[in-house]
Amino acid sequence: MTRPMPPFAVLAVPALVAAGGLGPLQAADPAPIPGSPQTFVLPNGLQVALFEDHSLPLVKGELRVALPPPAEDPEAWLRPLGLRMMALGGSGARSAAAFAQAADAVGLQLPASLGPRAVTWRFTARAQDQGTALDLLADRVARPGFDPQALEPARLEAWSEVGEAQALPRARLRFDRSLAALPLPAERQLATLDPTMLAAWHRTRFRPEGARLALWGDLDLAQARQLAILAFGAWTAGAPAPAPAAPASPAPEPGPFLAALPGEACELRIGLVEDGTDAALRRYLGPWVLAQLQAAGLHPSDPLSGDPLVVTADAPLGVPAAPLKARLEAALEALPATFGDRDLAALARQATAAQVLRGLHPGDQLADALAPAAAPRDLETARTVLRRWLGAANRRLFASGDPGALAGLQAPAAPEPQAPVSTPKR
């Protein structure tokens, strides 16, 4: 595939070659193994994995940029708003309208999802448009423009969210942010935010050496290398984010998050904080947790969706929430001790089976390449992970309903957090 280089890439590639940066890319290409990606690393540290498949004229991809743990990032509060601004603004040399038009012209969408320690963008494009698609992706991620005109509506929206007067949306927002371990911005922080600050935030957080790109589809290794260099070769990060001397924004609230709605039946949710701790191990244990909670007659969300696990229960009007809360907590509390060798073996079989089925879904292959699950090394490790995940310190409570029904939902004592378990390499 040939196409003209964008101006920045024409400048960047010779510079990289002159610096000897292409060394790792010049090794002989190994033959692709079906189901296994071919991998290489750009001189700027971006890791690339390629699943070759020439059965359709199509290319799919995911780019995952690592972020520091929220607790270590004094500007963690800025992430949702910053990402919204990246999606609204232009990129590279394009205005917002020109960017949208260029993307729509090739049927390209670039949805982003914010996780506790990473942002992930996905795309799908015809093979003939793969270069355009990667250029647009690189522009959005590495060279975003923060439009001052788009900032004001986004600031107002964030302001109205933070200052929401109604009990229900306010409680929901605070609950969601607490589960994501992201503090809400203070009004002062929102008021002083400007495009320069956003650009500095982006420059220090979005770094190629913490990014991984996975590609699937109708391109070979040589094409993938050329495209990756052209699109991302010029991406260089600024200085790393400064270590926080003192937290600039408060830690997320522990709750409980209550919304008094006179005359309404009670809805109660217990959510588990997802700050990236034990992420790969939780992905592995997630199906077991889901099955156990469902077998107990509860209504959990899917822990594999990437969102924090939330267990929901409703009570008819007039029924108090406290017993419901006790029931949910007891169910979560009991699980780690019930996890045994048979469960570990069953999960291993399930993981093997899932690996076989992954060949049916290119999207799963990409996701797995960027965020794999990892098996715990033994039973005790698994139980430790479960205790930390499901334990009282990691739970957050949301409840809405008649004030009478909400009586007795006390704020939990804040227990000491435990250290995470290291994730074994696959």
Which residues of this protein are in contact with another protein, per CB under 8 A?
Answer: 34, 55-58, 60, 97, 100-101, 103-109, 124-126, 129, 160, 166, 217, 261-263, 291, 294-295, 314, 346, 349-350, 352-354, 356-357, 359-363
Residue the block writes with tokens 């963690």: 76
Nearer residue to another protein within complex by CB, 33 or 239 = 33
CA distance 305 to 298: 18
CB of 354 to another protein, least distance (A): 6
CB of 108 to another protein, least distance (A): 8
CB 294 within 8 A of CB 378: no
CB 168 within 8 A of CB 259: yes
For residue 106, count other CB atoms closer than 10 A to its CB: 16
CB of 47 to another protein, least distance (A): 23
CB of 277 to another protein, least distance (A): 26
CB of 90 to another protein, least distance (A): 12
CB of 152 to another protein, least distance (A): 13
- Tell me which amino acid residue 145 is: G
206, two tokens? 């979005």
166, two tokens? 């109604």
CA distance 80 to 352: 36
Nearer residue to another protein within complex by CB, 181 or 366 = 366
Instruction: Note the Cα 277 to chain centre separation in Å.
Output: 13
Nearer residue to another protein within complex by CB, 160 or 418 = 160
Nearer residue to another protein within complex by CB, 156 or 191 = 156
CB 85 within 8 A of CB 198: yes
CB of 1 to another protein, least distance (A): 17
Nearer residue to another protein within complex by CB, 58 or 228 = 58
Nearer residue to another protein within complex by CB, 22 or 167 = 167
Nearer residue to another protein within complex by CB, 242 or 263 = 263
328 HSE (CA, 13 A, CB side): 26
First and final C-alpha spacing in the chain: 34
CB 76 within 8 A of CB 249: yes
Treating both helix axes as pointing N-terminal to C-terminal, what angle do 148-162 and 167-179 enclose, rounded to 10 degrees? 110
